[in-house]
Amino acid sequence: MELTGGNTDIIEFPVPSDEWQIYVDAFSQTSKRLEDPNHFTAAFQLKSNEILYAINTGDSMIAGTATYTDVPHAGFVDLIYEAMPPKYRFKKPYDVNVTALREGKIVEATLRFAEFKFSTKEEDLTERTGGVIHNPPY
């Protein structure tokens, strides 16, 4: 699904359906809620003026597994981290250098991560861990 038409001032953030409402509630605490373009996408105006679309993918997360959403620009990792309320921020944005083999050649790339930790209820002892990643093609 392409809501943005390639506009870099718009961030598409697809999340599994069982985490979608958690992200919508969290972003609602820090960002202005805009009119939603459809029933499975929530729109937010970030403080940095970008528009963030939290998109319900309809997928389910795997219990006990961290869920990371890939975004097309490393800077989006920082913007999404800043849009998350401080109580849900787990690890601030950081880089990981990787080396891979592509078409018989060694290539290097830098991945950018930010991590979140939250639970669905204040009294819930089970926390979900997830985050956002920029994983450039290499």
Cα–Cα distance, 127 to 88 (Å, whole number): 10
What pLDDT digit, counting tens, does each position of 35-45 carry?
Answer: 999 999 999 99
Report CA-CA distances (Å) from 20 to 15, 39, 43, 52, 122. Answer: 6, 12, 12, 13, 17
- Please give the model's pTM, rounded to 2 decimal places: 0.79
DSSP 74-110: HHHHHHHHHHS-GGGEEEEEEEEEEEEEETTEEEEEE
What pLDDT digit, counting tens, does each position of 87-136 carry?
Answer: 889 899 999 999 988 888 998 988 999 998 876 555 554 556 677 777 76
Considering only CA atoms, which of 134, 13, 129, 110 is closest in space to residue 66?
A: 129
Residue with the bigger pLDDT between 125 and 78: it is: 78
Task: Report residue 53 as tokens.
Answer: 């679309």
Cα–Cα distance, 120 to 104 (Å, whole number): 46
Residue 69 has a CB neighbour count (10 Å cut-off) of 21
Q: Which residue, chain included where needed, has tokens 């309809």?
A: 58
